[in-house]
Amino acid sequence: MAQGWSWSGFFDYLFNPYILGGAVTTLWLTLAAIAGGLVLGCTLALARLSKYRWLSVPAHFYIWVFRGTPLLVQLIIIYTGLPQLGLRLSVIESALLGLILNEAAYLAEIVRGGIQGVPLGQTNAARAVGFSGAQAMRYIVMPQALRLIVPTLGNSVNGLLKTTSIASVISMEELLRRTQVLIQEKFMVLELFIVAAIYYLVMTTAWDFVQRRIERHFGRAYSNTAAPAQGEAAAAAVVEQR
C-alpha cells in the first residue's frame, strides 16, 4: 500500500458509530426522497399525459427545469437563496425538499414512459366494456405499466443512495459529510474515503438484491403482440369481479 496508510485507522473507522450514523442518515434520506418524489412524480406524469394544456404545460416546464439544472445548484438555491425571499429552511428540510423536487422530475418521466409503453388497445378494450378513464388506468394500464416502471425505478433508488452525498455541501450530516468531518480531525484521507466507499457499496449491493426480488415479483412487461389480447381478457375479468 501507499506510504502513510494506516491499517489500524482503517479498521477503527470501519465500524465507527459516527460513520454508521451517517450511513443511517443516508438510508432514511433516500427512502424519504424516493417516497416523496414518487408521489409528486406520479402526479406530474398524469399531468403530462393530460389532454388539458393548463395541466400538461406546467408539468412539462417543471420537468424541464429540474432535469436541466444540477441538483447541487438546486440545493444551494433552496438553502441559501430562499432565505433572501423570507423562507428559511433547516438543513434537513432543505436537503429533503431539494432531493424530492429533483427526483420527482426523473420519476415523472419513468412513470410516463411506463404508462405509454402499454398499448393503447388495452385502454380501448377497457373502455369498450364500460370502464371509465380512471378505472381503466387503475385496473388495466397501471398493473401492466408497473412491469416497465419497476426496473427503472429500482435503478433510481440505487442512484439516489449515492446522490444523497451531494447534500453534504449544505452540511447535511449524511455519510460523506461525516467522513469529511473525521478527515479534518484525523487527517486520514484515503482510509476514511475508502471506508465511506465500502459503506456505499454495501448499501447499493443490498438494494440490488431487494430490487431483483421486486422485479421477479412483478415479472417482465407484456410483449406488444400479446398485450392487446391480454388486455381485453384482463378488462373482462375485472368487470366480472366487480
pLDDT value of position 142: 78
Residue with cell 470501519: 14
pLDDT value of position 171: 92
Of 75, 73, 89, 86, nearest to 33 by C-alpha is: 75
Give CA–CA dist 164/166, Å, rounded: 5
Of 96, 95, 143, nearest to 115 by C-alpha is: 143
User: How far is CA 238 from each of CA 126, 132, 143, rounded to the nearest angstrom?
Assistant: 9, 13, 12
Q: What residues contact 173, with CB distance under 8 A and at least 6 apart? A: 21, 22, 25, 91, 181
Of 121, 156, 134, nearest to 226 by C-alpha is: 121
pLDDT value of position 3: 55
CA neighbours closer than 13 Å in the CB half-sphere of residue 138: 7
Give CA–CA dist 198/24, Å, rounded: 14
Cα dihedral sign, 197-202-206-208: positive
Pull the grid cell for residue 63. Answer: 420537468
| Number of other residues whose CB lies within 10 A of the CB of residue 189 | 13
Q: How far apart are the first and last CA of the chain?
A: 68
User: What string of pLDDT tens digits covers the 242 residues of the chain?
Assistant: 445 788 888 898 999 999 999 999 999 999 999 999 999 999 999 999 988 999 999 999 999 999 999 999 999 999 999 999 999 999 999 999 999 999 999 999 999 998 888 877 777 777 777 777 677 777 777 788 888 888 889 899 999 999 999 999 999 999 999 999 999 998 899 999 999 999 999 999 999 999 999 888 876 544 444 444 444 444 344 334 44
Of 113, 112, 106, nearest to 36 by C-alpha is: 106
pLDDT value of position 238: 38
pLDDT value of position 144: 83
